Amino acid sequence: MLTGYRVLDLTQVVAGPTATRLLAEMGAEVVKVELAPAGDHGRQAGLKPRDPRFAASSASTHFAQHNHSKRTIAVDLKQEAGRALLRRLAGKVDVLVENFAPGVMARAGLDYPTLSALYPGLIMCSISMAGQTGPLADKPGFDYMAAAYAGITGLMGEADRAPAQLGAAMGDNATGLAAAMAIAVALLHRERTGEGQYIEASLIDTYFQMHEVNVPRVSLRGPSGAPNRAGALHGDGGPTGVFRHGADSFIAIMVLPHQWRQLVAALGMPDLEADPRFATPRGRRENNVALATIIEAWLARFPTREAAIAALEAHRVPCAPVLSVAEAIAHPHLRARGTVREIDDPRLGRFAIPGPPVRFSRWAWRDAPRAGLLGEDNAAVLAELGGLDAAEIAALVRERVLVRDPLLDVPPAPEQDN
């Protein structure tokens, strides 16, 4: 659906690459610009090839997950020739996305005021932890710092212990989704008006959007309106949380006030409705630990997690097994929908990655995504988009303005199982 649009991707790690990967999967031609000499920091994360011939390869599972479906060039932006090359390429694209610390693009002469003066129709998106303006704008930071600033981390964990750390880059991924949405809408605006524009996406802004009911509550009541950390139990639920079924077996249950009778029926404990501790939603919130004890004792009667879930679902109680990552990857529903899909890489082998978050009736996602090695498309991209001839490209290679994975000319490893 975005076929015909070009994106220059100056991002790395997760948030920015997520935004540009989604655009690539929707048909845009994305040219990923990596910084010499080592490229995207994501190339040093994840798993590397097991075959010793490719031990020094720039391939990695982390990079492949977040950067498949893109072309890649590697440029030394510390050299003026490298910066000039990117200014030239900016005139051949519709969108430029970057996630450097604020100020870096301006110092390189690649900021929006400079580029938009040359190319008025350009759409540029900057992704950062805290945005381009405000007291925190100059602070470098990552997903976990943004969650801390946005009041999210303080909600996680047990009441008598320090706040817990999130185990997934939720803010990075959500910010990438938000940026991709904003870019698509900016392209629609340009179709109507001819105007390019500048977009800011911030991890803190995205995380703050994730609050459910806490912001207005605390705004009106002050700090006393904030929920206490409740570990496996949701402080505002009745009952809502993660409940133990067995030694290493858990079930997530979420019961809204109108579903309380359904849970009571599933438990086979009609007396709970008359129990003054649980007679109202407020009472169930205030006595959620006692209620959790009752539920977990009931769950322990079932020989399997699946049997307990079946008993809950028979009364339409919203619940789910708490799956491990391995169980989620193997789940038939996730497999059937393409939520789990696979990359077959000649150096890394075959491995699972997340599929796209939405489905279109008039667009099919790529069946066989792949990610390039560092600088794999240098010559092709610069010839096609930059208008450089072979001699000019060779000179940039000699001057180390362009770099390339030296293993690109090594035959791929035999197919192996991971």
Which residues are known to be catalytic? 172
Strands 249-254 and 240-246: what pairing? antiparallel
For residue 52, the surrounding DSSP H or E stretch is: none
Strands 71-75 and 29-35: what pairing? parallel
> Exposed e or buried b for every residue in 23-48, given b needs 16+ CB within 10 A?
bbbbebbbbbbbbbeebbebbebbeb
**The two three-digit tokens of residue 16, written as one number:** 């920015």
d(CA 303, CA 292): 19
Q: Do 11 and 307 form a contact (C-beta atoms < 8 A)? A: no
Q: Do 199 and 124 form a contact (C-beta atoms < 8 A)? A: yes
d(CA 294, CA 296): 6
Residue 119 CA, distance from chain mean position: 30
Q: What is the largest CA-CA distance in the chain?
A: 85
Written as one letter, the residue type at 65 is: Q
Handedness of CA 12, 14, 18, 21 (dihedral sign): positive
